[in-house]
Amino acid sequence: MSVPVEESPFTTLRVSREDRVLLVVMDRPEVLNAYDGRMVAELRAVWRAFRDDDRLRVAVLTGAGDRGFSTGLDVDDTLATGVASPSLDEDGRVAITHRDLRVNKPVVVAVNGFCCAGGWHFVNDADIVLCSDNATFFDTHVDVGLANPVEAVGLLSRLPLTEVLRMVVSGRSYRLGAERARELGLVTEVLPRAELTARAMEIAQTVARHPSGLLASSLETIWTAVDDQRARAEALGLALLARASTDAARRGSLVAFREPGPGLSSPS
For each of the chain's 268 residues, which pLDDT tens digit applies? 355 666 678 999 999 999 999 999 999 999 999 999 999 999 999 999 999 999 999 999 999 999 999 999 898 877 776 666 777 777 777 889 999 999 999 999 999 999 999 999 999 999 999 999 999 999 999 988 888 878 998 999 999 999 999 999 999 999 999 999 999 999 999 999 999 999 999 999 999 999 999 999 999 999 998 887 777 777 777 677 666 555 545 555 554 545 544 445 433 3
Which structural domains are found in the chain, ordered by start?
5-193+212-258 (3.90.226.10)
- Residue 229's pLDDT is 73
Q: How far apart are CA 193 and CA 191, in angstroms?
A: 6
257: nearest Cα among 117, 68, 105, 97: 117
Cα gap 47→63, rounded to integer Å: 16
Which amino acid belongs to residue 141? H
Q: Would you state the torsion angle of the CA atoms of residues 33, 38, 43, 45, taken in this order, to the nearest 10 degrees?
A: -160
Instruction: Answer whether 44's CB lies under 8 Å from 51's CB.
Output: no
Residue 19's contacts (CB-CB under 8 Å, 6 or more residues apart) are 205, 208
